[in-house]
Chains A and B, each alone.
Chain A
Amino acid sequence: MGRYILNRVGISSLVVLGSMTLIFFLLHILPGDSARLIGGDNVSDERVAELQTQFGLDRPLFEQYLSYITGVLTGNLGTSFIDNQPVLSKIMLHFPATLTLTLFSTLIAIVIGVGLGILSAVYQKSWFDYMVRFVNLFSISMPSFWLGILLILVFSIQLRLLPALGSGTWQQLILPSICLGVIGSGLLARMVRNSVLELKNEHFVLALRAKGLRERSIIYKHVLRNALIPAITVIGILIGELLAGSVVTETVFSRQGIGRLIVDSINQKDIPTIQGTLLIAAVLYILVNLLVDFSYAYIDPRIRKSLVK
């Protein structure tokens, strides 16, 4: 197990390094002179040259890359083009809000998704099942900002039940979490439903049935425990999706957060900040999936055994 963990951590660190490289070169093929963009519309040539030196933009690309990598390794994500602030402190300022939103919407996704998934599998081919499946399909097929705008229109503007804007109070968390959570729940419900259905026809279930156990107790005591294990892997993917979804959701609901930071820095062509936020998103995604892998290995006895061997 220890070797397994070490191995996975090692591979993941390499992947992080790869993502960093990819993001760096992707953003540095940008057309246009960054220094001229920083200086604004009426900047003099001397000032452009000065800014180039200040941000190290006059050095060869590979040199810039090396100093970026060494910077990141020492916890320095660079300085924003726009306001000279360390990128890391900008990210830290916006991170808590996104984390709250992601956790809350994951919670909603799990409660709704797992619940509906199980129920619609248990009552397979009933009207309830059909309805749940249709709603799920609808929720994963909607553009998320469209859902957000409709939620604001109905719950905030028409019914005046919940605030549409801002981040701070718990009331302000509800609509955006629902917006994100609903989409996540669609993915999760499909997954849970499928894995429950598959297990319903497995040999051990058939054996239990033959032993005369009641269907209900078979489902709740034996099938669910096994069906939920694969659902854990989905949560890893889900968190990635939710992080990405926060870009759109935070914009619609005018919330503080990493997603909004990315959009703003793209609008301002603030490359170091875009770079930093993408990197943080990638690292988060890798971390979550690493945790998922470990917990998966821990929970599923078959995998645990194969690893011990």
Chain B
Amino acid sequence: MNTVYSKAAGEPLKKSKSIHLKRFNLSSVSFSLSLIMILVLILCALFPGVIAPYSPFQMNQAVVMSPPSFTHVFGTDQFGRDMFSLIVYGTRQSLMMGLLAVLLGGFTGTVIGLLAGYFGGIIDTIFMRLTDILLTIPNILLAIAISAALGPSLLNIIVAVSFSAVPNYARVIRGQVIAIKSRPYIDASKTIGMPRMKIIMRHVLPNCSSQIIVMAALGIGTSILISTGLSFLGLGVIKEIPDWGYLLSQGRSYITIAWWIVTFPGLVITLLVIAVNILGDELRDRLDPKRTRA
């Protein structure tokens, strides 16, 4: 994916300290739908008890695997639990896995990119070769290897998923930093004796922030897909309240007789990833004046 981002890496942004929301073209239907989707899911994550009609623990033998109806809009699972409620309650953990993985991966990648780009020389060489190495192992394979080595736990999965995102951040940020470094105001800051850390934090980092935000938005989707894949391969975590990936991987056994158990969690994952992708694209278009509006 890095080639896509690196296009934008050449030119720093002049006004990127804050994102100008009012400039967004809210009439764009897909964009608004995506925003609504994400907002709804955030609400689900924050107040599942208010939104879900049933408790996620409520097993009901009388309605085992009943198809979608007015009482159970997404049907019920193999225990007679309400699928809709399960998905609502699972939102928190699924979003958290995606977000934390992105935060961890983004943070590590950004730090590496900043250091490599700003200081150059041997630090640059070492870090960039390291990211080259990480890039050679396809992300899901790397995640599989890590979670196989560490054993399945929430933290390990987050580490595994974030690990594979590090090289992308590092490369893009490094490119951005190298471009910013040659700007006159950085030279000016140096001449007035500003400490290096301060220069990085004050001038370099803010100019990279748009890139970071775009990558993070797109990264949430990738993270969720990878952690779903891990669940499918039996490397997921089992929690009292199951996450979407787990629902999906458990539900697949029932596909020939109760299609709804696997269909709805899959659909929610897909819609969320679509939404963050649209959002990410839109952010990129907005934040990068050079890009043609597609």
Contact = CB atoms under 8 A, between A and B. Distances in A.
Q: Do chains A and B touch in the complex (CB under 8 A)?
A: yes
Nearest to B138: A244
A96 interface: no
A138 B134 contact: no
B181 interface: no
7 contacts: A11-B132, A15-B136, A27-B145, A143-B266, A240-B138, A241-B138, A247-B140
Nearest to B148: A266
Contact of A145 (B1, B136, B232): B232
Interface string B270-294: 1101100110000000000000101
The 7 closest A-B pairs by CB, nearest first: A244-B138, A141-B273, A18-B133, A146-B266, A282-B136, A244-B140, A141-B274
Interface stretch (B13-21, B38-46, B255-263): B255-263
Binding site of A, secondary structure by majority: helix, strand, loop or mixed? helix
Interface stretch (A50-58, A106-114, A191-199): A191-199
Contacts of A266: 144, 148, 233, 235
Given A153-B255, A247-B141, A281-B141, A263 B1 contact: no
Contact of B133 (A15, A142, A251): A15
A26 B145 contact: yes
Contact of A142 (B233, B252, B266): B266
Given A14-B129, A278-B141, A27 B225 contact: no
B60 to A, nearest CB: 26
Given A18-B132, A31-B151, A247 B144 contact: yes
Nearest to B275: A141
B40 to A, nearest CB: 17
Contact of B129 (A18, A244, A281): A18
B136 A153 contact: no
A244 B145 contact: no
A69 interface: no
Interface string A239-255: 01101110110010000
Contact of A138 (B256, B274, B292): B274
B139 interface: yes
Contacts of A286: 136
A232 to B, nearest CB: 10
Contacts of B53: none
Given A149-B255, A274-B148, A141 B277 contact: yes
A22 B252 CA distance: 34
Given A30-B149, A194-B294, A281-B141, A138 B130 contact: no
